Structure 1
Amino acid sequence: MTNLVPPVESAENAGANRRRWLLGAVASAATLGGAALAWRRYQPQTLAPSAEATLWQLEFPGLDGGVFRMASMQGRPVLLNFWATWCPPCVEELPLLSSFYRENSAKGWQVLGLAVDQMEPVKRFLARSPVTFPVALAGLPGVELGKSLGNVSGGLPFTVVLGSDGRVAHRKIGKVSPDDLRAWAALK
């Protein structure tokens, strides 16, 4: 006669099995979450039409006391860089952005630095380390603008490349590289 009753598991084995099952479930959830994040990151992201239209209507305080109007840049490619004086990678990439502007402005490229900072620290910083491109003050609302342009984490530096058509062509969170700038220079 065959015994149809399963063997009784020891408490030690039952605990080990539960831990293995729990560890497997956590690992599976982490893998699925990472895959979803990677999938989302590499999907084309576009602004809602109203967000693109709104971008070109924005005005920012200029460092000279005037107003910088985004509409003045419409119709040509734009490299829009969000930065702050207290952000080391932001400060490190500014000379690269200045070179990009010097080399490509004759080809129609524009660069705008939007400082997510306060007026006085930005003025002091740029007096010591000038740049060749215009800088305007976005302040804390610049973080929200960056989020609307695809920087959901609000991290700095954040660079957005807009084509001549006014649409977002590229985004980069983190310091730009010479390779990024060479690739972007080929865009129109």
Structure 2
Amino acid sequence: MPQLRAGLALGIALLVIGITGVWLSMIRLDRSPPANQEQTAVLDWISAQLSEELPRFQLPDHYGQMHNSTDWQDNVVLVNVWATWCEPCRQEVPLLVELQEGYGAQGFMVVGIALDDPAAVEKFAQEYDINYLSLIAAVDDPQVLDQLGSAALGLPHTLVFDRTGAQVDFHLGLLTAEVIHPVLHPLLTESTDFDPLAP
């Protein structure tokens, strides 16, 4: 039994080291997703551990008003897990604002979940003119983080859910227009002049 426990502990430690290596490689390489097969397989494994469907939860915004994820049914939902102290998180906020503005009329929602202090998030939201739903989660809140990922996974990270609530995409690291536009376009059937890839 001690040998079995030691083996399991070693396996978990190696897995954590591998995931950490992927995360660090993304920071060094312009914070873009790794392209080789081994690292892609690790990201696929991470995605599989998270919720396959948009989980049901209630969280407050930075004003203290509660919001229920069941209210987002029939929408394409992009959930972005972030924090104000995270530099890549700050860099991608203008893109999220553009996505909400450009696609919002088509039943698309950006939902930010900040692992942060409400006062810091409120100040940040005003500074960056955030136009999407910005919620607050405790760093140890299991109702959300077990299904959407914690800071230990790496920040920022983004999940996309289709209109049925199924998870269709997971991205670890800085989100770019080149990454997200091909994901959202097939899910949003109405024609639009908005193009996040345009200069």
Q: 1:44 to 1:58 in 2, by over 3 A?
A: closer
Give the greater-gyration-radius structure (CA): 1
In structure 2, the partner of 1:117 is 116
C-alpha distance after superposition, 1:67-119 (max 9, x if no partner):
01111112211000011010000011000000011110111111101111011
The gaps in structure 1 that reach 5 residues or longer are 1-29
**Do 1:83 and 1:113's aligned partners in 2 also have CA atoms closer than 8 Å?**
yes
Q: 1:178 to 1:143 in 2, by over 3 A?
A: farther
In structure 1, the residue corresponding to 2:62 is in which secondary structure? Answer: coil
Map 1:18-37; keep pairs closer than 5 Å. Answer: none
In structure 2, the partner of 1:77 is 76
In structure 1, the partner of 2:15 is none
In the TM superposition, structure 1's runs of 4+ consecutive aligned residues that sit over 2 Å from their partners are: 34-48, 51-54, 141-153
Percentage of identical aligned residues: 24
Q: Quote the offset at 1:158 in angstroms.
A: 0.6
In structure 2, the partner of 1:96 is 95
**Do 2:53 and 2:166's aligned partners in 1 also have CA atoms closer than 8 Å?**
no
Q: Quote the offset at 1:129 in angstroms.
A: 1.8
TM-score by length of 2: 0.66
**Do 1:160 and 1:171's aligned partners in 2 also have CA atoms closer than 8 Å?**
yes
The gaps in structure 2 that reach 5 residues or longer are 1-17, 19-35, 188-199
Q: Quote the offset at 1:160 in angstroms.
A: 0.4
In structure 1, the partner of 2:132 is 133
C-alpha distance in structure 1 between counterparts of 2:93 and 2:138, whole Å: 18
Q: Quote the offset at 1:165 in angstroms.
A: 1.3
C-alpha distance in structure 2 between counterparts of 1:187 and 1:88, whole Å: 30
**Do 2:53 and 2:167's aligned partners in 1 also have CA atoms closer than 8 Å?**
no
Q: 1:124 to 1:40 in 2, by over 3 A?
A: closer
Root-mean-square deviation (Å): 2.9
C-alpha distance in structure 1 between counterparts of 2:54 and 2:41, whole Å: 28
Q: Quote the offset at 1:64 in angstroms.
A: 2.2
C-alpha distance in structure 2 between counterparts of 1:35 and 1:157, whole Å: 22
TM-score by length of 1: 0.70
Stretch of structure 1 that moved more, 169-178 or 141-150: 141-150
In structure 2, the partner of 1:3 is none
**Do 1:47 and 1:168's aligned partners in 2 also have CA atoms closer than 8 Å?**
no
C-alpha distance in structure 1 between counterparts of 2:127 and 2:38, whole Å: 44
In structure 2, the residue corresponding to 1:81 is in which secondary structure? Answer: strand
In structure 2, the residue corresponding to 1:186 is in which secondary structure? Answer: helix
In structure 2, the partner of 1:108 is 107
Q: Quote the offset at 1:171 in angstroms.
A: 0.6
Q: 1:142 to 1:105 in 2, by over 3 A?
A: farther
**Do 2:53 and 2:161's aligned partners in 1 also have CA atoms closer than 8 Å?**
no
